[in-house]
Amino acid sequence: MQYFLNRLLYLILLLGLVPASVMAETTQRGGIVLSFDDWFVDQWHGFFTELKTTNPEIEPYSTFFVSHWLTDIKGVNQNRVGNESHYVKLKQLEDAGHEIAAHGLNHIGARAAPYNLACDQANAYVTAEVQPGLAAMAQGDPGLANDYGFIPKSFSYPYGERSTFYDNAIKTTTGVRYLRGTFDTDFTKPLKNTDAIYHRVTDANYPYLIGDGIDSVYQNDVAEVKEALDRASTNDEVITLYAHRILMPGESSNYGIQAAKLKEIILYAHSKGLKFYRFNEAFAEAPETMDTCGGNSGGGSGDPNSITFSYAEDKGNNTYRVGLQWTNLPNDVIHIALASQPATALANASTGGAASGRIGINVPNVVAGTAYVAVAKSGSTTIATSAPFIILAGNSSP
């Protein structure tokens, strides 16, 4: 017994001697992914330059997803020179520890024509919007000495319009591995209850992250954001947020956040011990899948064995919780339908793009003896339909 007590004491002493910095690297830690989209380089640069002066103790590493790289006055190439050039300002932000990432060449969404988020248009989208933006960023500025351009590791989809097939196309044809979508804001739900924007650093791989907006239009006030940061701190989770403009007093924009509000959020996150993660360091990314566009060129029904019915649980009032399982079938949403009308969803659930998993979906008004199917979709494209199954045995009413 004495031996074990000595061992225990030794272990306690050893743990006490491990420097805090080493412990922090090896344990789960809550954090914040702060990201900014589009082309508001002057505002981003002004805000973070000033913050560095007023609060040098904070390392507020953020990620700037930049669009319109080459074109028009929004872009980087605007004939501004020296320290007034957007390009130079982005270089200075990068030197200060921020991540400069990609957001499309012309800010065209994947849901726009001719892509329509169709599975068989994913490569065309990448060729037209993603690749040229990356090439322009890598080109650098010929006027600068020792300039090597930007090599983005991360991409955020304009308007958050993405699907698994677009993720795959980017990952297989570019060097970009870290993808961000956006959450369809639910104004009735507090930010702290929006599970989709939280993840844990060490638990899993993620095919992409989604963020929620903190611009004015998203109606998340400072108190609500602070509560959301409290959750991240308490649970050692990472929260992903995004904004566009940074507004000075007197300025207003739906797609902007007041500088004072942003500063208060950053100071609060720091006070709660949250780490500011650059986007490409915030999560372990899941590799692309080998799935192609369904079983045939029309989007098809895929392999029915890749999605299977596993149980039905009576929840009362003719509602049944239907358990499903899918394998090697990355999809965004699964719905339940009558086998006779597979396109008409009776109930559905978001699956978050995982390649394999299980889910329970509550189906109301279940009819005895009637065949149902489960349909997996990526964007608006059906990628697999299960074999028909019966939820409730018996004879259907005449």
Number of residues binding to Zn ion, judged by CB under 5 A: 3
Residue 345 CA to residue 336 CA, distance in Å, equals 6
The nearest distance, CB 39 to Zn ion, in angstroms, is: 9
Min dist. Cβ of residue 319 to Zn ion (A): 40
Binding to Zn ion by CB under 5 A, coded x per residue (else -) over 236-255, reads --------------------
The length of the chain in residues reads 398
Minimum CB separation of residue 120 from Zn ion in Å reads 25
Helix (H) or strand (E) holding 94: helix 86-95
DSSP summary character for residue 388 = P
Tell the smallest beta-carbon distance from residue 103 to Zn ion (Å).
Answer: 6
Residue type, 266: I
List the x/- string, 216-235, binding to Zn ion by CB under 5 A: --------------------
The correct pick among 37, 99, 129, 332 for binding Zn ion (CB under 5 A) is 37
Determine contact, residues 257/247, Cβ cutoff 8 Å. yes
CA dihedral 122→168→75→91, nearest 10 degrees, is -170
Interface with Zn ion (CB under 5 A), residue from 33, 35, 36, 38:
38
Nearest to 33 by CA among 133, 183, 164: 183
The residue among 245 and 261 lying less far from Zn ion, judged by its C-beta, is 245
257 versus 391: smaller Cβ distance to Zn ion: 257
Helix H, strand E, coil C: the string for 168-186 is HHHHHHCCCCEEEEECCCC
For residue 238, the surrounding DSSP H or E stretch is strand 238-243
Beta strand ranges found along 108-175 (DSSP E): 154-156
Stretch of 85-93, 115-123, 151-159, 363-371 contacting Zn ion, by CB under 5 A: 151-159
- Closer CB to Zn ion, residue 255 or residue 389? 255
Query: What x/- string results for residues 104 through 143 when contact with Zn ion is judged by CB under 5 A?
Result: ----------------------------------------
- 205 pairs with which residues across the strands? 284
Please, which residue, 253 or 370, has the CB nearer to Zn ion?
253
- The answer to whether the CB of 85 falls within 8 A of the CB of 41 is no
Beta-bridge mates of residue 307: 326
Phi, psi of 266 (to 5 degrees): -65, -45
Residue appearing with tokens 């996150």? 269
Give the residue with the Cβ less far from Zn ion, 37 or 167.
37
Q: Site mask, Zn ion, residues 154-193, x = CB under 5 A? A: ----x-----------------------------------
Query: At its nearest, how many Å lie between Zn ion and the CB of residue 149?
Result: 21
Residue numbers of the site for Zn ion (CB under 5 A)? 37-38, 158
